[in-house]
Amino acid sequence: MSAGEERLRDLLVHGLAGEAPAYHAFLKELSRHLRAFLKKRLAGLPDDVEDLVQESLLAVHNQRHTYDPGQPLTPWVHAIARYKLVDFLRRRGGREMLTESLEEAEIHFFSHAETDAAEARRDVAKLLDQLPDRQRLPIMHVKLQGLSVLEAARLTGMSESAIKVGVHRGLKALAAKIRKPG
Amino acid sequence: MKTEDLVTMLATGEGAVEQNAAARRYTTAIGWGAFGATLLMAVFLGVRADLAAAALLPMFWAKMVFSCALAAASTIAALCLARPGARLARVKMALAAPILAMWLLAAFTLAGAPRELWPDMFFGRTWASCPLLIAMLSFPTFVAAAWAMKGLAPTRLRLAGAAIGLLAGTVGAVVYCLHCPELAAPFVGTWYLFGMLIPTSAGALLGPWLLRW
């Protein structure tokens, strides 16, 4: 395992244990590696790279409970990024647009990083607006305004567990919306 | 929304993640699936009348162990396929071992029996219904395991579908052991396996459609 991967794995493991700053650092760094990975493989579709970076980040977040700390990080992240990339290309009906083999990509996943974020075309904030209130409000208060679950519950009149469920299901619904073209 | 803002949004307000989520989901799924299958078996088929006597025969237990070993192996397969990037090498061994063992036992049984008994040992009296009944008993686990898989992260959907189908088939077979009157190894090694492969094929067919995320 490379030193970079080791460090990222540590950040993720701490993040999974509930340490928000570690998790934030993990996602931030991961987004750079995702961008490099996707940019290289979507050379013909530069405008879609940032959309797919965001879609992959959301996927990693929603599926983070499937990471086993005993497992190396690279194959896990690579499998998710690859799955989202192939799914995206299938939706577009253009698997042939893959400019680089996916099989050899795994070992190099964490050796490339790309900091320059282009504008995403699909605005996640707009997709958020399409969610029903029981999901939109918890995400708005807890995840965008940074309120605690208790505060969000008081403000909305929802129960604390409804807030938690709303955040969880809302992010899943967001991931489903992000997959739809348009 | 910029990617940086999305990162901040995702990282904000998240507590610790529950550990062993996959194992928990599958435990729940197998529990409900086995309960459903037992109910179906008890209502539509009935427990074999001589179960107490049958339980004294080694072949009854060989059949049970065969089905349970495959159920365990397919649970491991389903767990691996629910986790992105997990390796499958050992899973293949775990799946192959009980099947090879049963076939070996079947070969010995046939070799030690007169030729005119072979058709009986192979077809028994219930070869035509056995696979279909196992497939029927697999249905509750199929639904429950699909639910479990859907909440995780399969990236090879056809294989993941096959794995939950096989898991369902093996749980169905374990429960079917309590009803089934057959005890010959050639029968079990053929028709039980065939029964398990019905939901496995259904899972492989439906996987890409059912398990997308």
Model ipTM value: 0.91
- The proportion of chain A whose per-residue pLDDT surpasses 90, expressed as a percent, equals 67
- The proportion of chain A whose per-residue pLDDT surpasses 70, expressed as a percent, equals 91
From chain B, the residues in CB contact with A115 under 8 A are none
Task: Say yes or no for a CB contact (<8 Å) between B12 and A75.
Answer: no
Report residue A15 as tokens: 């993040």
Q: What is the pLDDT of residue A8?
A: 94
Task: Say yes or no for a CB contact (<8 Å) between A66 and B1.
Answer: no
Report residue A145 as tokens: 């305004």
From chain A, the residues in CB contact with B79 under 8 A are none
Q: What distance in Å separates the CA atoms of residue B170 and residue A47, rounded to the nearest whole number?
A: 47
pLDDT digits (tens, 9 = 90+) for A141-178: 999 999 999 999 999 999 999 999 999 999 999 999 98
Q: Torsion-angle region of residue A74: left (phi > 0), alpha (psi -120 to 50) or beta?
A: alpha
Q: Please report, in angstroms and rounded to a whole number, the separation of the first and last CA atoms in chain B.
A: 22
Mean pLDDT within A92-105: 62
Q: What distance in Å separates the CA atoms of residue B195 and residue B134, rounded to the nearest whole number?
A: 5
Q: Nearest-CA residue of chain B relative to A175?
A: B213
> H-type helices in B115-192, by residue range?
118-123, 130-150, 157-176, 185-187
Q: What are phi and psi of A44, to 5 degrees?
A: -80, -10
Q: What distance in Å separates the CA atoms of residue B160 and residue A71, rounded to the nearest whole number?
A: 19
Q: A–B: how many Cβ contacts below 8 A?
A: 115
Task: Say yes or no for a CB contact (<8 Å) between A20 and B86.
Answer: no
Torsion angle defined by CA atoms of residues A36, A37, A39 and A40, in that order, rounded to the nearest 10 degrees: 110
Sort A76 into a burial class: Cβ within 10 Å, 0-12 / 13-18 / 19+.
buried
Task: Say yes or no for a CB contact (<8 Å) between A66 and B83.
Answer: yes
Sort A130 into a burial class: Cβ within 10 Å, 0-12 / 13-18 / 19+.
exposed
From chain A, the residues in CB contact with B22 under 8 A are 65-66
Angle at the Cα of A14 from the Cα atoms of A9 and A16, rounded to 5 degrees: 95
Mean pLDDT within B31-54: 94
Q: What is the pLDDT of residue A110?
A: 84
From chain A, the residues in CB contact with B16 under 8 A are 16-18
A interface mutation test: which of B3, B8, B17, B159 has the most A CBs within 10 A?
B3
Mean pLDDT estimate for chain A: 89
- Whether A43 shows a pLDDT value over 70: the answer reads yes
CA of B90 vs chain A CAs: smallest distance (Å): 15
Q: What is the pLDDT of residue B22?
A: 93
Give the residue with greater pLDDT, B89 vs A58.
A58
Nearest to B82 by CA among A33, A80, A14, A109: A80
Across the interface, which of B10, B17, B82 has its CB nearest the CB of A57?
Answer: B10
Mean pLDDT estimate for chain B: 95
From chain B, the residues in CB contact with A75 under 8 A are 84-87
| A5 — pLDDT class (breaks 50, 70, 90) | confident
CA of A60 vs chain B CAs: smallest distance (Å): 9
Task: Say yes or no for a CB contact (<8 Å) between B84 and A64.
Answer: no
One-letter amino acid at A68 equals: D
One-letter amino acid at B176 equals: Y
CA of B77 vs chain A CAs: smallest distance (Å): 14
Q: What are phi and psi of B16, to 5 degrees?
A: -70, 150
Nearest to A18 by CA among B9, B8, B16: B16
pLDDT digits (tens, 9 = 90+) for B5-41: 999 999 998 888 988 899 999 999 999 999 999 999 9
